[in-house]
Structure 1
Amino acid sequence: MTAQPDRIVHVTTVHQPFDPRIFYKQLASLRDAGFDTHLIAPHDRTEQVQGISIHALPQSTARWRRIALHPTALRMAQALNADLYQVHDPELLPVAFLLREATGARIVYDMHENYRAKGPILGRALRTLERWAFRWVDHVLIAEESYRSIVEAGPVSSTYIPNYFRPIGDARLGAPAKAGHTPARLLYTGTLSASRGLRTMVKLAARIRRAGRPETIDLVGICRYEKQRAWAKARIQEEDLNSILSRVGWDTYVPPSTMPPYYRRADVGLALFEPHPNHRGSIPTKFYEYLHYGLPLICSDIPRWRRFVERHACGAVVPPGEPAAVLDVLDEWRAHPERYRERAERARAAASRYRWKPVGQRLATLYRQVLNEKVTGASVTG
């Protein structure tokens, strides 16, 4: 008889089912490696997508309602009788512990953020949960090297699984910038919030309009904060910015598979974040996406980000919260189009260093090691 493939179940109550890291990178790579892959996540229906079985939880954005889903998530996960469970949210660690006790399955925890930065109360509570879990989980995946010091405080082994680029949808490249081309179409992709530069980009659009400049800005992503959406909408109407600033998604999640056309027609990728602790310790996934499409970056002057941009000569950094500095960079590139073209070429050249495929292959190898109780704690650097 042919042996049944090991069953893997990922569980989240926070993330969208088609979260790029969870669905398109990790689960897709595990499926390709021959695992029987399942995902328990908030969704409107239970279905199978691209060979991955999605088991739907009710959808909710409120934390207390998500926590109320934990008994349901536990029952669903236990019924699947997996060989290994991976949880993506620190609040699910007690559920993972109960699964371990009830099934004897292996447990992996994927640390997406430095949750201590969530604030003095919530952040401390989440860190306490993590430190407790480090005593009994089988392995921890970390999305950023900077999180390693957090995990090393406990006895558990960890592996760096970076959020490198994996093509989703039609990821064909656009044509390289031609000689004399000057950048006019600016792009931001991903979750929108004040800490991720929403206010700065709206103010940038206002400056563009008042000065009669040629630039436009595409914001492609969801803003989950109603008050921030209301502020931005009011400012856009007051300043008559609809011809300058387009919003795609806004109050609705934008599937990654629909984003490639926006990348291909853009000239510059924006990341005008505030220097929040989580931002200072990580490289945004959108950096790797911008590089793939040959988009020079204009990003906030955060030390880790500055080093990335300078290492690859792929863009420019500006002081956080200063839209005038963005216009200064664009003016320089307009006056010297060869500088813009060189940065675009450097972006394309750097992209090959940040591909997901080898990381996904190593993730599958790591899973086999965890299942065979042979984890050594070796680091995956991609």
Structure 2
Amino acid sequence: MGLNGGAGARGRVVMLVDNGVNGDSRVQKAARSAADAGWEVVLLGRTAAGRSQSWRLGDAEVRLLPMPEPLAKRRHEFRRGWLRWPLAYPPTGVAAHRSQAMKAWRADLTFRRAALTVAARDGGTRPSPLRWHALRAEELAAGVARRWVSLRHWQLTRSRQGRKKLDGPLDRAYTKFWQTVQGDGAWRRLEPGLWDYELAYGPTVDELRPDLIHANDFRMLGVAARAKLRAAAQGRRIAVVWDAHEYLPGVQAWRDNVRWLPGNMAHEREFVPYADAAMTVSGGLADLLQQEHRLAERPEVVLNAPALAELPGPGDEPAPDIRELCGIGPDVPLLVYSGVAAARRGLDVMVEALPQLPDAHVAFVVNKPESAYVKGLVVRAGELGVAGRVHVLSYVPHHQVVPFLSGASVGVIPIHHWPNHEIALITKFFEYSHARLPLVVSDVRTMAETVRSTGQGEVFRAEDVGDFVRVVRGVLADPGRYREVYERPGLLESWTWEAQARVLDGVYSRLLPAGRGAGGDDTNPGAEPPALRVGA
């Protein structure tokens, strides 16, 4: 995978990512390929553990930093709701202590009653009536106390539930006020938890004295920009590359928090001008980012393509046989979906279509086979009388993915219309392609355009079972027509990480021309690399 020899000779690169690295194939491939190309690479991620962790990823070093998140908590989580819930316990942990104390008291009373019962039954010194009356009085008192504690605990729970969502009129007014007063600086009020990333990563970045910071996604952009400015104040130059993995306005996970999106977008807008170059995962997203931030230059596109090292080699352990796991023969039509299982991924259309595809089977190769969503698909298959033709399988090791999937008849990507789905060529698209599968994809914009242009598959209307059935029948009638596309010279070669690594290396090389020393030593402090200019 290497482009040049001599690890570290070309400059020190610190990569930042807001996760635990494992499971993020893009940042792992980027770190490994950059190190193979002669850069000294340190990849910084985060861990919930209380201590740092580190390991090697090829010639790259990975470090996970402990990251406490006290600022991610909202102020109301530390206060009592006196007006609506006057009896609620304060949110200090005392409620759990009181509840446990009540249980301990009741356990002790049960033990003491048992002891008196045994003493009365077995003779000897019989307990006096006074002891029985005292025990009964204490049991009554414990019952009253238990109900009181339960009431206060219930009020605390209700008060917390009422503030889980930050989407009420006061939250909207709060958001609008700080946007008006502070503009893009409003993230400091709306999303103060972003400072937790700075406090966890910033000191280590300064200590490493990088020549270049590769900031993955929106949370790391601020960390990189502030480190760049601190270095500039000391007379050192750091180049910043912003790697946008998704379109922030298209993120749907925080719809119940009206502060989240405005806060993170303000943070992104404040720090984009400090980036010297940008890259992203698709041409569609590159265009959106250039328009959104009025960038003078279009971000480079680095696809989430598999590395040749992840493809089967002569010495690799054979991949499992997907058909054997499904219990079907070589001539049975097998539709496969590989990836995260979630409602907006549209897997239900594959189950609903099976009654109209009487010979076909479906394999779901998913991250969480026991999830409620997947179980719901299996239940629905039973209701339709097709449960025997639905197979739920677990992930295989990354180097076995392509040969494992190649045993299927068709690769299916039935995702729904969501903003980030429209602009992405997702990882499974490339995995299916290297497995040389005919594709059936929903009509999300970028993927549909690609499939139509290459001829490697067909497109159906998202969430339309009838159209899905029509397209699948057509593909199964002549699969060889679609497989032949993969013999086109250069097609699959352009969809490898090795091709993407050359783009990545080109960006680094443009920002750090030959002669820059590793470790942040700036031999020409007056020469700034071209920044990502924001249009007027």
Query: In the alignment, is residue 270 of structure 1 matched against residue 412 of structure 2?
Result: yes
**Which has the higher mean CA deviation after the structures are superposed, 117-126 or 140-149?**
117-126
Pair 139,38 (structure 1): closer, same or farther in 2 beyond 3 Å: same
SS in 2 for 1:245: strand
Q: Could you tell me which amino acid in structure 2 is paired with residue 256 of structure 1?
A: H
Query: In the alignment, is residue 50 of structure 1 matched against residue 50 of structure 2?
Result: no
Separation in 1, partners of 2:40, 2:461: 47
Pair 192,60 (structure 1): closer, same or farther in 2 beyond 3 Å: farther
Q: 1:50-102: per-residue Cα shift (whole Å, max 9, x none)?
A: 222110135999x9488545422223322222211111121222212221123
Pair 42,287 (structure 1): closer, same or farther in 2 beyond 3 Å: same
Q: Could you tell me which amino acid in structure 1 is paired with residue 444 of structure 2?
A: I
Aligned partner of 1:9 among 6, 10, 14: 14
Q: Is the 8 A contact 1:144 1:161 kept in 2?
A: yes
Aligned partner of 1:195 among 330, 344, 368: 344
Q: Is the 8 A contact 1:192 1:198 kept in 2?
A: yes
Separation in 2, partners of 1:7, 1:74: 16
Separation in 1, partners of 2:220, 2:305: 25
Aligned-pair Cα RMSD in Å: 3.5
Aligned partner of 1:76 among 185, 204, 211: 204
Q: Could you tell me which amino acid in structure 2 is paired with residue 20 of structure 1?
A: S
Q: Aligned residue for 1:142?
A: 280
Structure 1 residue 276 displacement after superposition? 0.6
Aligned partner of 1:160 among 277, 297, 301: 301
SS in 2 for 1:308: helix
SS in 2 for 1:213: coil
Q: Aligned residue for 1:29?
A: 33
Greater helix fraction, Structure 1 or Structure 2: 2
Structure 1 residue 132 displacement after superposition? 1.7
Q: Aligned residue for 2:327?
A: none
Pair 327,361 (structure 1): closer, same or farther in 2 beyond 3 Å: same
Aligned partner of 2:484 among 328, 342, 345: 345
Give the fraction of aligned pairs with identical amino acids, expressed as a percent.
Answer: 19
Query: In the alignment, is residue 365 of structure 1 matched against residue 493 of structure 2?
Result: no
Structure 1 residue 155 displacement after superposition? 5.0
Separation in 2, partners of 1:376, 1:93: 14
Separation in 1, partners of 2:296, 2:267: 14
Q: Is the 8 A contact 2:452 2:459 kept in 1?
A: no
Query: In the alignment, is residue 169 of structure 1 matched against residue 315 of structure 2?
Result: no
Q: Could you tell me which amino acid in structure 1 is paired with residue 267 of structure 2?
A: L
Pair 351,299 (structure 1): closer, same or farther in 2 beyond 3 Å: same
Structure 1 residue 161 displacement after superposition? 2.4
Q: Is the 8 A contact 1:85 1:96 kept in 2?
A: yes
Query: In the alignment, is residue 316 of structure 1 matched against residue 454 of structure 2?
Result: no
Separation in 2, partners of 1:82, 1:288: 33
Q: Could you tell me which amino acid in structure 1 is paired with residue 200 of structure 2?
A: T
Question: TM-score, normalising length from structure 2?
Answer: 0.58
Greater strand fraction, Structure 1 or Structure 2: 1
Q: 1:286-333: per-residue Cα shift (whole Å, max 9, x none)?
A: 222211221111000234333211211111111111344333333334
Query: In the alignment, is residue 285 of structure 1 matched against residue 427 of structure 2?
Result: yes
Separation in 2, partners of 1:111, 1:64: 22
Q: Could you tell me which amino acid in structure 2 is paired with residue 91 of structure 1?
A: R
Match runs of 1:106-145 below 5 Å: 106-118=239-251, 121=258, 122-145=260-283
Q: 1:329-373: per-residue Cα shift (whole Å, max 9, x none)?
A: 333344x3xx21111121453423423323312321220221245
Which has the larger Rg?
Answer: 2
Q: Could you tell me which amino acid in structure 2 is paired with residue 282 of structure 1?
A: A
Separation in 2, partners of 1:211, 1:356: 36
Structure 1 residue 7 displacement after superposition? 1.2
**Which has the higher mean CA deviation after the structures are superposed, 104-113 or 238-247?**
238-247
Q: 1:232-278: per-residue Cα shift (whole Å, max 9, x none)?
A: 314424644476221315xxxx7533423422322211110001111
SS in 2 for 1:135: helix
SS in 2 for 1:140: strand
Match runs of 1:80-99 below 5 Å: 80-99=208-227
Aligned partner of 1:101 among 229, 234, 259: 229
Q: Is the 8 A contact 1:297 1:314 kept in 2?
A: yes
Q: Could you tell me which amino acid in structure 2 is paired with residue 37 of structure 1?
A: V
Query: In the alignment, is residue 246 of structure 1 matched against residue 392 of structure 2?
Result: yes
Separation in 2, partners of 1:182, 1:267: 9
Q: Could you tell me which amino acid in structure 1 is paired with residue 38 of structure 2?
A: G
Pair 74,376 (structure 1): closer, same or farther in 2 beyond 3 Å: closer
Q: Is the 8 A contact 2:222 2:268 kept in 1?
A: no
Structure 1 residue 35 displacement after superposition? 0.5
Separation in 2, partners of 1:16, 1:320: 32
Equivalent pairs, count? 355
Separation in 1, partners of 2:473, 2:214: 48
